[in-house]
Structure 1
Amino acid sequence: MWFLIALLFLMLLLNFPIMIVLIVTCLAFMVIYTPNLDFTLFVQQSISSIEAFVLLAIPMFIFAADIITAGKTSNRLLDFIRDLVGHVRGGTGIVTAAASTLFGSVSGSTQATVAAIGPPMRKRALENGYEDSHIMGLIVNSSGIAMLIPPSIVMIYYGMLTGTSVGELFIAGVIPGVMIFIAFAVYEYIIAIKKGVPVFPKATFQQRWTSFKRSALTIGFPVLILGGIYLGLFSPTEAAAFAVLYAFILEVLLFRSITLRQLISIAASTGVVTSVVFILLATGGAFSWIISYLRIPQLLTESIMGSDPTTLQVLLIMSLFFFVSCMFVDSLVAIAILAPIFTPVAVGVGVDPVAVGILVTMQATLGTVTPPFGVNIFTACAVFNKPYMVVAKGVIPYIAILMVVNLILILYPSLITAYRMVLG
């Protein structure tokens, strides 16, 4: 067993395509441990892994994110948040974190948030005396909040794979996302005082009202989606369809920032991304099936954690495995491999399945921003045309903040499901 696990990670380190890694490892397991098993089962499991109705939400949320990224949503959000808190000490940094959080709640994509919020916010920050590595580090890390604030493809896939309610995962992700934003805002405030960073002029009431009216429809995007799911007006999949319609109305009909011809090219781009995602989901689903069939989760957890692990021990080891894996591979692949192993164990020691899903998503968030292979760092290098080390230099303080928030959630997982007391 350990040889095949080593084979999996060796192929990943040698930069084989992810789907090849999963297929080869899965077939190797079958040949060595279940030679009499019919190989058509592998094909059937691959197909069944992408048949779930909830997965229809993924291409639609991607399409909605692509439409919004190509439009004027980011500038409207930036203007409103700048007028609201730009005059506060550290306001530029706070505006950056807030805009990334809000845009992430609209797009659901960390890379889209870097690309849309990054250039205009970096330009404003440099004009206000911020160091380049500082503001790029903030953009990289605050964009990662998009993975926690719904809509989140990671949550959709995790929910489908483990049977956890996607709607509850969406709602539960808001608390950790807000915690991270507040922590970043406090840090920006302290650093701004220490370095004497200048602030934006205080906006008048009229300026704030004007920018609010311009951005109100955009801000209403996550409110309508979450409110609709919580009130039972539509399912997460129906919410995704609504997101596409809402994005179309905003960017094509109202803002007129996108033409119908552009919409066709955006749809084609979405199709390419969706095909890659679904290939990963199919191969990941087959891999999850074979390791569950061979009882590898039970064998692995017993060898690592012992026969009677504590809740804290399970959550720490689970988080470490997901964090390290998400540093090197796509978070969907990490979930496909590790969720069937650790989720039953975590639930078995009394952790709420929704809390487990949010902790997994938190590790995926950390993985996207942590050197050496954090995807948001490479996205920032491309968007800002800056060397890797310049971008990576600025992410360290924010990763430390993320680690602290992560540890708090591991120690007190009940914080994640506190929304149930609020919402009844």
Structure 2
Amino acid sequence: MLTMLFVTMLVLLLLGFPMMVPLAVGTLFMMFTGMTFFGPEQAVSWMISGVGSWVLAAVPMFIFAADILTKGHTANRLLDVVDSFTRHFRGGLPITTAASCALFGAVSGSTQATVVAMGGPMRPRLLAKGYSDSFSLALIINASDIALLIPPSIGFIIYGVVMKTSIGDLFLAGILPGFVILLLFSIYCYIDSYIKGIEPEPKAPWSERLRALRKAILPLGFPIIVVGGIYGGYFSAVEASAVAVAYALLLEVVIYRKVSIRDLGGLAMSTGMITAVVFILVSIGAAFSQALGTAGIPEQLLGPMIESIGDSQTLALALIAATFFVGCMFVDPIVVILILVPIFKPLVVATGLDPIHVGVIVTLQAAIGSATPPFGCDIFTAIAVFRRPYIDVIRGTPPFIFILLLATIILILFPEISLFLPGLGK
């Protein structure tokens, strides 16, 4: 029966149905075949509980802020300031791309928004400099993954709600791991450019650097306001998301005047559509997760492995990372977080792992999954934006996926990287 459940869901997924359909069918399958015992009323109750947390109200607000910034001048201003400081290094242009993705992620919190905002101006420049299209596309979609670790991160919000842990601490915990990944990407870009013999750009004069810095000061205020405000106790994660929208409107509508009042209706509609998809996934994913738990399926699949781990924190983190990595290769990361976090919560408690550190490992796997074949959402965003075939988009991804997996190992072995900033205020 269990095999039939997963085969049915896989067939629906391969037939092109959106992820919410296999999840709903899987829940109904368990209910009507007697795998577990619950009625429609209980399923609806689980769905409502899944989206009942007030903290989830931050999700549409951060998405709306990201939409405003993507349409406005913020991306180009961040790009210019990074370019002025890095273009004279070997591999300066791809390093600029990776660093710009990290900075834009710090003001948007969205991998897909980062692909659109940074990929548009950087891909032509990378191609003109002599980098292959496969390298350029792989760099853009994988560097955009840093956006899921640099606050504000929707992945951290979802994890924090499910795990019932501090969103502010999670935001702080993602900062240093994000910079570790950026450093690893930069080293790879330097080596790759050296092997290919691609010469750096001329060094920017300090006058250009200072001019770029002045233009980027206001956009760079986003992470300071969001993280500083939450951790300083000035406002909650939900209030921070509202402040982010207000700040984005101030920048792009009032100061830069790149976004008009008339544009806001279309942007709000886009945000509403994305939010609807996210919340449907969250609600159905919550019901599916509860049905799995009621049927005892997690214990059947993972019970022996969890028991063999004992109290080893390293092995526990390795199992969590491997499970989330495989899951996010095939299923939307939000759904994977919703389903697997409750399953692994007893293991986290039993081994004494810090849930903040676990959140970083889990969210990093969600980030990797966003750019990993076969179903990474950033892959399909790049296909739509750059109009390139699937095989061209994924051809250059293996080195970057290896780097991200290396970063996972580093973070497992050295949890202090994740826990240093959250620990400063304790």
TM-score, normalization: structure 2? 0.94
Aligned partners of 1:128 and 1:199 also within 8 Å:
no
CA distance in 2, matches of 1:22, 1:413: 34
Q: Which runs of 5+ in 1 are unaligned?
A: none
The corresponding residue for 2:2 is 2
AA partner of residue 55 (structure 2): V
Q: 1:305 to 1:35 in 2, by over 3 A?
A: closer
Residue identity matched to 1:416: S
Q: Is 1:68 the counterpart of 2:69 in the alignment?
A: yes
Alignment of 1:353-364 (within 5 A): 353-364=355-366
Q: Percent identity among equivalent residues? A: 46
Task: Tell me which of 373, 376, 391 is aligned to 1:374.
Answer: 376
DSSP-derived class of the 1:416 partner: helix
The alpha carbon displacement at 1:5 in A equals: 4.4
User: For residue 197 of structure 1, what is the amino acid of its counterpart?
Assistant: I
1:219 CA displacement: 1.1
Tell me the equivalent position of 1:145. Answer: 146
**Residue ranges of structure 2 left out of the alignment (5+ in a row):** none
How far apart, in 2, do the equivalents of 1:348 and 1:21 lie? 32
| Contact 1:287–1:336, Cα closer than 8 Å, also in 2 | no
Q: In 1, distance between residues paired with 2:366 and 2:36?
A: 35
- Choose 5-14 or 350-359, whichever is displaced more: 5-14
Work out whether 1:123 is the aligned partner of 2:124.
yes
Counterpart residue number, 2:184: 183
Contact 2:67 2:267 in 1 (8 A): yes
CA contact (8 A) 2:306 2:347 kept: no
Please point out which of 340, 343, 348 is paired with 1:341. Answer: 343
Cα distance in 1, alignment partners of residues 232 and 107 from structure 2: 19
For 1:50, give the aligned amino acid. V
Q: Distance in 2 between matches of 1:76 and 1:243?
A: 18
Please report how far the alpha carbon of residue 307 of structure 1 lies from its aligned counterpart in structure 2 after TM superposition.
5.3
| Partner residue in 2 for 1:106 | 107
CA separation of 1:387/1:11 partners in 2, compared to 1, >3 Å: closer, same or farther?
closer
Amino acid at match of 2:16: N
Change (3 A) 1:362 1:132: same
Determine which of 394, 397, 400 is the counterpart of 2:396. Answer: 394
Q: Give the Cα separation in 1 of the matches to 2:293 and 2:173.
A: 27
Stretch deviating more after TM superposition (188-197 or 93-102): 188-197
Q: Which of 366, 385, 393 is the aligned partner of 1:383?
A: 385
1:303 and 1:8 mapped to 2: Cα distance? Answer: 24
Q: CA deviation at 1:32?
A: 4.2
1:388 is aligned with what amino acid?
Y
- TM-score (norm. length: structure 1): 0.95
Once the 2 structures are TM-superposed, how far is the Cα of residue 221 of structure 1 from its aligned partner? Answer: 0.8
Give RMSD over aligned pairs: 1.9
Amino acid corresponding to residue 371 of structure 1 in structure 2: P
* Cα distance change on mapping 1:419 and 1:33 into 2, 3 Å: farther
| CA distance 1:314–1:75, change in 2 (3 Å) | same
Matched with 2:157 is 156
Displacement of 1:283 = 0.8
Q: Which amino acid aligns with 1:355?
A: H
In structure 2, relative to structure 1, the CA distance for the partners of 1:91 and 1:37 (3 Å cut) is closer
Counterpart Cα distance in 1 of 2:300 and 2:414: 28
Amino acid of the structure 2 residue aligned with 1:376 = D
Structure 1 residues 413, 292: CA separation in 2 closer, same or farther (over 3 Å shift)?
farther
Please report how far the alpha carbon of residue 423 of structure 1 lies from its aligned counterpart in structure 2 after TM superposition.
4.3
What is the total number of aligned residue pairs between the two structures?
424
CA distance in 1, matches of 2:120, 2:203: 23
Summarize the Cα distance change of 1:39–1:95 in structure 2 as closer, same or farther, 3 Å threshold. same
- The answer for the alignment partner of 1:225 in structure 2 is 226
User: Per the alignment, in what secondary structure is the counterpart of residue 90 of structure 2?
Assistant: coil
Partner amino acid for 1:12? L
